[in-house]
């Protein structure tokens, strides 16, 4: 009689880096002879890959544990694991004490020990195994099917922004070898992936542990710019994106690399605040003017580039004048998009130890809404410039009579289509522009192809 494979279910919270980590986790469990299930109720092992950037992210983990407590009543042998940034920053184990349901609780870098831990917990279900040696980033991830893929090049962070848990949750910065990164991307290209997103907490601070792996003809000395040049040479890769950059490491060579042919016409560069006083308390290590000077250089090198950023409102001590500085910087930078967050104090961070969270919840909400409103006004105006223009779109979704995807400016685009175009790069003429969606008509020799301006009017 063939024994059924034990089943696992992974739940991923947070950023693209966590999603990439979960792909490695899935590959590890597959290698143990397990099978993935999309239903938590069917699983013998549930793993939550947690985010700790805000309290709301941690609260979702506790909410799920309450649900899994009921699943364990039906399946007493269910193994529940919590990994990710939350265990990584829980140095005094106070958070762990609130999770009696969790059988395993470990930072993501310790996933290599799961074969040993699982066989110790359930030897009847999980085969006897030893922990793996070395860095978990050596595990080849099980990338999801499709034309796009995330590739982690770096883990951890050395910047210690006062509000951020990442240096505690993920540890100090470590960079993958160039040879490993290039091998992974070549394999993805052979599988049909056409768009790569390079991931790192401070991605442009990348420093190769094996600089001898760069090609002799590589024109750049900055290791990150040199890596971008190498990826641009891989056949089959058509589009390259990266996140998240830090202004401190936007060197002239990295800015120059924005002109490489496969680079998307988009840069995401977090600013966090437009006030020098707030930036100083955040330990961001640059001023407002220095940030704007970087954007000036970027726009001179690549005119028309779309810009994104991250902003925190309501940080400790933020006055109305400080917030007005953020609004004025936003207007001057002319961002296409901003991911705006209300400050959430995190235990263990420097801001939690040094400063008082003295901006009320109501004021944070009001400032967030004003910033969101400004963003909507600016992007709607900027998007009108696309009317009548043709953009290149990588198709990643299909609905009833339409397809959608991102342009090279990371604008969301929909157009009428009568066939599955997923994974294809097509040209779309824009006929209608809203804040968060451009509508158009695929450039096609068939004049009968309907326009979304007509279809969605």
CB neighbour list of residue 185: distance below 8 Å, 6 or more residues apart: 151, 196, 231, 234, 237
The candidate with the shortest Cα–Cα distance to 283, out of 438, 103, 425, 158, is 158
pLDDT of residue 130: 66
Is residue 414 within 8 Å of residue 406, measured between CB atoms?
no
Confirm whether 7-136 and 137-384 share one CATH topology. no
What is the predicted pLDDT for the residue at 4?
A: 80
DSSP state of 155: E
- Torsional class of 346: left (φ above 0), alpha (ψ -120 to 50), beta (otherwise): beta
Q: How much is the pLDDT for 239?
A: 98
> Phi and psi at residue 353, in whole multiples of 5°?
-85, -35
DSSP alpha helix (H) spans, 220-263: 223-232, 252-257
The domains of the chain are located at 7-136, 137-384, 387-455
For residue 358, count other CB atoms closer than 10 A to its CB: 11
Among the listed residues 266, 272, 94, 270, the one whose alpha carbon sits nearest the alpha carbon of residue 197: 266
What is residue 411's three-state secondary structure? coil
Homologous superfamily assigned to 387-455: Nucleic acid-binding proteins (2.40.50.140)
Model pLDDT, residue 450: 45
The pLDDT, as a whole number, for residue 303 is 97
d(CA 55, CA 53): 7
- Determine the pLDDT at residue 55: 81
Classify residue 267 by burial, with Cβ atoms within 10 Å: 0-12, 13-18, 19+.
buried
pLDDT score recorded for residue 126: 83
Q: How far apart are CA 88 and CA 168, in angstroms?
A: 6
Architecture of the domain whose range is 7-136? 3-Layer(aba) Sandwich (3.40)
Note the pTM of the prediction, 2 decimals.
0.92
Q: What are the C-alpha distances in Å from 4 to residues 1, 44, 122, 125?
A: 9, 11, 15, 10
CA distance linking residue 403 with residue 434, whole number of Å: 17
Q: 137-384 architecture in CATH?
A: Alpha-Beta Horseshoe (3.80)
Question: CA-to-CA distance for 176 and 134, rounded, in angstroms?
Answer: 12
pLDDT of residue 156: 92
Task: Walk along the chain (457 residues) and give the pLDDT tens digit of each residue.
Answer: 346 889 999 999 988 889 999 999 999 999 989 999 999 999 999 999 998 887 888 889 999 999 998 899 889 989 999 999 999 888 888 889 999 999 999 999 999 999 999 988 988 888 766 667 788 999 999 998 899 999 999 999 999 999 999 998 888 999 999 999 999 999 999 999 999 999 999 999 999 999 999 999 999 999 999 999 999 999 999 999 999 999 999 999 999 999 999 999 999 999 999 999 999 999 999 999 999 999 999 999 999 999 999 999 999 999 999 999 999 999 999 999 999 999 999 888 999 999 999 999 999 999 999 999 999 999 999 999 999 999 999 999 999 999 999 999 999 999 999 999 999 999 999 999 999 999 999 996 444 444 444 433 3
């Amino acid at each position: 009689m063939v024994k059924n494979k034990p089943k696992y279910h992974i739940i991923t919270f947070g950023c693209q880096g966590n999603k990439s980590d979960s792909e490695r986790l899935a590959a590890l469990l597959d290698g143990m002879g397990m099978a993935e299930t999309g239903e938590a109720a069917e699983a013998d092992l549930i793993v939550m890959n947690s985010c700790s950037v805000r309290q709301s992210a941690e609260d979702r983990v506790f909410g799920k544990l309450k649900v899994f407590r009921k699943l364990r009543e039906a399946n007493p042998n269910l193994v529940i694991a919590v990994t990710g940034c939350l265990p990584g920053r829980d140095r005094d184990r106070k958070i762990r004490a609130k999770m009696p349901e969790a059988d395993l609780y470990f930072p993501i870098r310790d996933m290599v020990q799961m074969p040993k831990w699982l066989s110790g917990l359930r030897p009847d279900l999980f085969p006897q195994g030893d922990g793996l040696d070395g860095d978990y980033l050596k595990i080849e991830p099980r990338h999801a099917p499709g034309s796009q893929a995330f590739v982690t090049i770096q883990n951890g962070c050395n910047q210690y922004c006062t509000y951020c848990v990442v240096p505690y949750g993920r540890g100090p910065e470590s960079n993958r070898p160039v040879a490993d990164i290039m091998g992974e991307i070549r394999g993805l290209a052979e599988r049909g992936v056409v768009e790569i997103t390079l991931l790192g907490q401070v991605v442009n601070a990348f420093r190769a542990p094996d600089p001898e792996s760069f090609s002799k003809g590589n024109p750049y000395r900055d290791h990150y710019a040199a890596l971008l040049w190498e990826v641009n040479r891989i056949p089959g890769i058509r589009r390259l994106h990266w996140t998240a950059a830090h202004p401190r490491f936007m060197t002239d060579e990295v800015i120059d690399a924005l002109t490489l042919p496969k680079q998307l016409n988009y840069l995401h560069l977090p600013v966090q605040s437009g006030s020098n006083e707030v930036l100083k308390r955040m330990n961001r290590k640059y001023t407002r003017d220095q940030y704007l000077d970087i954007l000036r250089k970027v726009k001179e090198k690549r005119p028309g580039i779309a810009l994104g950023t991250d902003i925190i409102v309501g940080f400790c001590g933020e006055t109305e004048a400080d917030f007005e500085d953020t609004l004025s910087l936003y207007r001057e930078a002319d961002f296409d998009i901003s991911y705006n967050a209300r400050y959430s104090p995190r235990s263990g961070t420097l801001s939690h130890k040094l400063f008082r969270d003295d901006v009320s919840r109501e004021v944070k909400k009001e400032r967030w809404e004003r910033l969101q409103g400004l963003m909507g006004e600016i992007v709607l105006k900027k998007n009108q410039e696309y009317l009548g223009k043709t953009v290149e779109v990588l198709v990643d979704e299909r609905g009833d009579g339409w397809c959608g995807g991102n342009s090279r400016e990371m604008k969301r685009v929909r157009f009428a289509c009568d066939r599955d175009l997923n994974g294809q790069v097509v040209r779309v003429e824009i006929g209608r522009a809203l804040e968060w969606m451009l509508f158009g008509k695929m450039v096609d020799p068939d004049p009968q192809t309907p326009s979304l301006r007509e279809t969605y009017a």
